[in-house]
Amino acid sequence: MSVELRHLRYFLAVAEELHFGRAAERLQIAQPALSQQIRSLESQIGVELFHRTKRRVELSAGGKAMFQPARQTLGDAAAAIEAAQRAARGEIGHLTIGFIETAATTIMPLAVRRFRIDHPDVGLSLRELSVDAQIEGLLSGALDVGILRPPIDTPGLRLAAMADEGLVVVAPEGHWLAKRKRVGPGSLVGEPLVLLAREVVPGLYDQVIALQREHGGAIIAQEATSIQAVLGLVAAGLGVSLLPASVRSLDRSGVAFITLAPSPRSSMLLASRETESSPLTTAFLAAAQSVAG
């Protein structure tokens, strides 16, 4: 037995109008064709749905029983179609976004807020992850978008520039560097360094090491796996650090942020799969780039 949605639509029109002529007009089909479709439906299910006389049309017991389920079925079908259309337009669905810690207080809040304006019904899962973990998640499909720092040379990923910033020196309050507003890279020669571990953001780590070697060598006193931990170690007097300028927004007590000039630039990238065609992913990438910088 194969009952099509149009049969239910015809049935409901007659059931609501209780008049074949008015129902046919509402459906914009000929009355004989409508009568034929109703007879076909009754034949398929083996139930008489209407009692017909020359003067009136009434629902049978079977028709009354079928009325609400038929209405629900058509409503569910309409909702399913609307959901598919909204998903195709990128209005509903779910995205999983990975981001490095240095994006947590700057780019991520701005990008999410901008995305929410046009996509309030899209679910977002936000995960702070290392660069390597994001790459693995993107390739496996666990992540839809990544926000990370270069270098990235992994095949299968599409990369787009998002933000670009200089580095700042982070020193303990009371340190002689904390009295300066601006220092050069050579000012850190001989100072113990507290660094964000290479396993977290390899590009930034390598950039800091290369900069210090260029200006007299580096003394690595401590490494930590989060920016907050780095700032805590600096505040404790264990050394100074070089971090992206966006860390100023953390406003951590016990440390001072000093502009480094000249400074290498530290880039932030948006990453997605090369094969990704989801309108949701495309929309988030556009929102993130619109607030970049």
Q: Give the domain CATH number at 280.
A: 3.40.190.10
- CA 139, 290, 87, 159: dihedral to nearest 10 degrees? -20
Which residues are within 8 A (CB) of 168 and not within 5 positions of it... i.e. 6 or more apart?
A: 242, 243, 244, 245, 247, 248, 257, 258, 259, 260, 263
Neighbouring CB atoms inside 10 A of 142's CB total 15
**Domain match, 131 and 214 both:** no
The number of domains in the chain is 3
**Domain match, 107 and 138 both:** yes
Q: What is the pLDDT of residues 205-234, one digit of tens each?
A: 999 999 988 888 778 999 999 999 999 999
What is the C-alpha to C-alpha distance for residues 195 and 197, in angstroms, rounded to an integer?
6
**Domain match, 180 and 256 both:** yes
**Domain match, 136 and 205 both:** no
pLDDT digits (tens), the chain, 293 positions? 678 899 999 999 999 999 999 999 999 999 999 999 999 999 999 999 999 888 899 999 999 999 999 999 999 888 888 878 877 777 778 999 999 988 887 889 999 999 999 899 899 999 999 999 999 999 999 999 999 998 898 999 999 988 888 999 999 999 999 999 999 998 998 899 999 999 988 989 999 999 988 888 778 999 999 999 999 999 999 999 999 998 888 878 999 999 999 998 988 899 999 998 888 999 999 999 988 75
Tokens for 189, please give them. 């020669």
**Domain match, 281 and 139 both:** yes
Residue 179 DSSP SS3: helix
**Domain match, 69 and 205 both:** no
What pLDDT, on the 0 to 100 scale, is given for residue 2?
72
Neighbouring CB atoms inside 10 A of 125's CB total 12
| DSSP single-letter state for residue 240 | B
Calculate the CA 118 to chain-centre distance.
13
Tokens for 90, please give them. 């990128």
Helix H or strand E encompassing 23: helix 20-27
Q: Which residue among 50, 72, 88 closes a domain? A: 88
| CATH number of the domain residue 238 falls in | 3.40.190.290
The residues pairing with 168 across neighbouring beta strands, listed in sequence order, are 243, 259
**Domain match, 251 and 214 both:** yes
pTM of the prediction? 0.70
**Domain match, 83 and 137 both:** no
**Domain match, 40 and 103 both:** no
- Could you tell me the residue range of the domain that residue 255 belongs to? 167-264
| b/e code 278-293 from CB counts within 10 Å (16+ = b) | bebbebbbbbbbebbe
**Domain match, 101 and 183 both:** no
**Domain match, 186 and 243 both:** yes
**Domain match, 81 and 224 both:** no
What pLDDT, on the 0 to 100 scale, is given for residue 102?
82
The amino acid at residue 183 is V
3-state helix, strand, coil in the chain (%, to 5): 45, 25, 30
